[in-house]
Amino acid sequence: MLLKNILLLFTLCFTFILEAQHTISGNLSPAEDYKWLIAYKLNPDHQNYIADTAVENGAFSLSIPANATTGMYRLVYAVPQEEFYFDLIYNGKENIVLSFDSQKGLFFISSKENSIYTKYFKEVHELEKQIVQFYSDRNKDRTVIKALFKKLATVQESYETQSAGTICGHFISANSPYIPAGFVDVETYMQQKKQHYFDALDFQDTMILGSGFLTDKVVNYVFTALPHQQLSIEEKEVIMKNNVKDLARVLENASSTNKVQLFNSLWTQASNNNYNNLADDIYGNYLKSLAIENNKTDILNNIETHNRLRFGSKAPEISWNEGSSIKKLTNLSGAKNYVVVFWSSTCSHCLQQLPELHKRIKDISGVKTLAIGLEDDDETWKKESAKLPAFIHGIALGKWESPYTTLYDIHQTPTYYILDSEKRIVANPENYEEVVKFLKEDK
C-alpha cells in the first residue's frame, strides 16, 4: 500500500512538472533566412538566457523550463542581437504559437495574452493616427475629433478591464494616452500630449523596466514630440535636446542601471539618424557619466569608436617607415580623395581584391591609395606589395595585435576607408567595387 501511494505521488508530481512546462513555437519567414533562435528573459538591468533551438525549414519549438520566470521575453534570430529580435509575453500558463515574417512582422496564432497586447496597441495606434490626420487636414468638424477622443477612451478602458491581473495589463495601463475632455486646437493637443506623456508610466515597475516597450516609449518621446510644422535638422536637434532634458527630469528617481540603458538607446537612435549634435549632447551630458558609474566599458568603447570614425571626423593618424624616414597620413597631399585600405599579404580576399582595385583606380584622377599591411613579418608583404606599385605602402607588424585594429575598428581584411582632401572620413565601403563606385560618383 505504501509503495502504491509513493508511485501515485511520483506520478502526480511528474504530471505537474509536465503541465508546468510550456513551449513557444511557430514559423519564421522567409524560411531560408533563419537557422537558430535564442530566448532571453528581459530584466530591469540585464537579460537571462532561457533556451535555444534550431530552426528547420522555418519551423521552431522552444521548450521553456518549468522554473522559468514570467515576464517579457526576447527571441533573437540573428546577429547583431540588438537588431534581429522580437519580444513577447510569457506568462507561464499557456503555450504560445506565432508566425513571424521579416516584412510583415509578428502575428500570434495562439496566445490570449499576447493577442490582447498586440490588438490593443494596433487599435490605439490606428486611432491616434486618425487624430493626427484630423489636425493635419485642418478639419473643422469638431464632432469628428470628439468622436475619435471618445472612441480612444473607450478602447483604453476596455483593454484595461480585459487585461486586469495579467502581465500585459502593466503595459496597457502604462500606455494610457492623453485624451482631451472636448475639442482642443492642434497646438494645445500637442502641448498637452507631450506634458502628460509619462503620467501613467511607473518607472519602478519591474515588469516594464528593461522592456522594449519602455525603450520605444522613451525614444518616441525624444524624437517625435516636435511642433506640428516643418523644421530644419538644426531646429529639430535643438528641440530634441530639450526633450532629452525633460526626460532626464522624469527619470530622476529611476535607477542608474535603467537610465544608462535608456540613454544608450537614445544615443544609438540619434547616431543612426545622423543627429550628431544631439548624439554628442546625450553622450556628454548624460550617458558618459552613467556608463562610467555602472562600469559599462562596452558602451564607452563603442561610442568612442563610433565618434572617432564617423563620417566627417578627421581620420586617426597613421604612420609608417619608408627607408630611414617616418611618413604620416596627415602629411600626404595633392589628392581630392585618399583611400586607406588595411590588408594582409596572407589574406586570400586581399590578394583577390587589391589587384582589382589597383587596376581600376588608375583611371580615376585625384586619388591616392595608402595600403597598410597588417602582418606577422615583412617577407610575404614585400613580395605582394611590390605587385601594387601605384599604392603607397606601409606595414604594421603584430597583425591583429596592431594598434590600428582598435584605432580603425578592423574586424576583417581588407577594410576600406575613403577620405576627402582634408583627411575627413567620407565613406567606409565593404569592398573594392564600392570604393570604385564612390570615387567615380564623387567626380
Task: Give pLDDT tens digits for 384-434.
Answer: 999 999 999 999 999 999 999 999 999 999 999 999 999 999 999 999 999
Under the banding of pLDDT at 50, 70 and 90, the label for residue 229 is: confident
pTM confidence score? 0.87
Share of the chain above pLDDT 70, in %: 95
Residue 231, pLDDT above cutoff 50: yes
pLDDT at res. 70: 96
Residue 13, pLDDT above cutoff 90: no
Give dist(CA 267, CA 209) in Å, integer: 18
Under the banding of pLDDT at 50, 70 and 90, the label for residue 1 is: very low
Under the banding of pLDDT at 50, 70 and 90, the label for residue 174 is: very high
pLDDT at res. 392: 97
Residue 64, pLDDT above cutoff 60: yes
Under the banding of pLDDT at 50, 70 and 90, the label for residue 227 is: confident
pLDDT at res. 15: 42
Q: Per-residue pLDDT averaged across 202-230, rounded? A: 92
pLDDT at res. 373: 98
Specify whether the CB–CB gap between 73 and 41 falls below 8 A. yes
CA angle 334, 409, 364 (to 5 degrees): 30
pLDDT at res. 12: 46
Write down the mean pLDDT value for the chain. Answer: 94
Q: What cell does 275 get? A: 543627429
Q: Per-residue pLDDT averaged across 370-385, rounded? A: 97
Q: Per-residue pLDDT averaged across 270-294, rounded? A: 97
Q: Between these two residues, 28 and 203, which has the higher pLDDT value?
A: 28
Residue type for 61, please?
Answer: S
pLDDT at res. 213: 96
Q: Per-residue pLDDT averaged across 134-142, rounded? A: 93
pLDDT at res. 4: 52
Give dist(CA 347, CA 95) in Å, integer: 49
Residue 17, pLDDT above cutoff 80: no
Under the banding of pLDDT at 50, 70 and 90, the label for residue 442 is: confident
Using DSSP bridges, classify how beta strands 96-101 and 59-64 pair: parallel, antiparallel or unpaired.
Answer: unpaired
Q: What cell does 98 get? A: 506565432
Residue 7, pLDDT above cutoff 80: no
| Lowest mean pLDDT across 3-17, 118-132, 190-204, 307-321 | 3-17
Give dist(CA 185, CA 142) in Å, integer: 10
Residue 74, pLDDT above cutoff 70: yes
* Backbone phi, psi, residue 415, to 5°: -120, 130
Specify whether the CB–CB gap between 439 and 364 falls below 8 A. yes
Residue 150, C-beta contacts closer than 8 angstroms, at least 6 positions apart: none
Closest listed residue to residue 86, CA positions, set 70, 68, 72:
72
Under the banding of pLDDT at 50, 70 and 90, the label for residue 5 is: low
Under the banding of pLDDT at 50, 70 and 90, the label for residue 228 is: confident
pLDDT at res. 443: 64
